Amino acid sequence: MPVRIVLASSNPGKLREYRELAAGTALEIDLLPNFEELPAFEESAPTFAENSAGKALHFSRFTAEMVLADDSGLVVPAVGGAPGVHSARYAGPNARDTDRASKLLRELEGKTGEERKARFVCVMAVARQGRALAVVSDCAEGVIAGEPRGANGFGYDPIFCFPDGRRTYAEASTEEKNLASHRGKAFRKLIEFLVPKN
């Protein structure tokens, strides 16, 4: 039996990514209908967990279906955990991915070794009609490159290297990234929870 869930997002790119992760599983994912017309949820909490659980609970009050919400970002301990929960807005509201990556590279100028260590974090929450059903999270360790490399992926991928420092996520295939990434790992936990094994 397929398990259906709706994603609290208006972003078709995010839906595509989730559908790729769910391929071959019994999970069916759609966007939450009329997402844009529903009252917005302010993602202003200081933790990924609060933002994703808050968002799932909020939107679950407008549908009878199970709602999935997520929050993710890049954490660099050497600069106080930045960009962290502000990853999407790190260089201002109208900035592009390249502006955010450049800003982080400037902050890390002169830093080497341990100080370039970073991790991507992803928290996914599921709620139904105002009740939280599950919160799963995972992270992916890595190091920040000296300059952007590669054309795949999105966001900070061109400056985020696998732990051995050789290739960035933007130089890897989608399959390679999903095997190692915060989102791929968290999603596999979510599947364990949502899709009962026969």
Catalytic: which of 70, 71, 138, 157?
71
SS3 9: coil
Q: List own/partner pairs for 107-112 with CB under 8 A and 24 or more apart.
A: 107/76, 107/79, 107/82, 108/76, 108/78, 108/79, 108/144, 111/78
- Asked if 138 and 122 count as a contact pair (C-beta separation under 8 A), the reply is yes
Q: Say whether residue 153 binds ligand IMP (CB under 6 A).
A: yes
Q: Residue 162 Cβ, how far from ligand IMP at the closest point, in Å?
A: 13
Kindly report the number of other CB atoms within 10 A of residue 68's CB atom. Answer: 28
| Least distance to ligand IMP, CB of residue 60, Å | 18
* Shortest Cβ 184–ligand IMP spacing (Å): 9
- Comparing C-alpha atoms, which of 34, 42, 5 is closest to residue 124? 5
83-142 binders of ligand IMP (CB under 6 A): 87-88, 120
Reply yes or no on whether 71 is catalytic: yes
**Range 169-198, binding ligand IMP (CB under 6 A):** 181, 183
Count other Cβ atoms within 10 Å, centred on residue 180. Answer: 16
Nearer residue to ligand IMP within complex by CB, 71 or 171: 71
Among 147, 154, 163, 179, binds ligand IMP (CB under 6 A): 154
Which residue ranges make up the site for ligand IMP (CB under 6 A)?
Answer: 70-74, 87-88, 120, 153-157, 181, 183
Catalytically annotated residues: 71
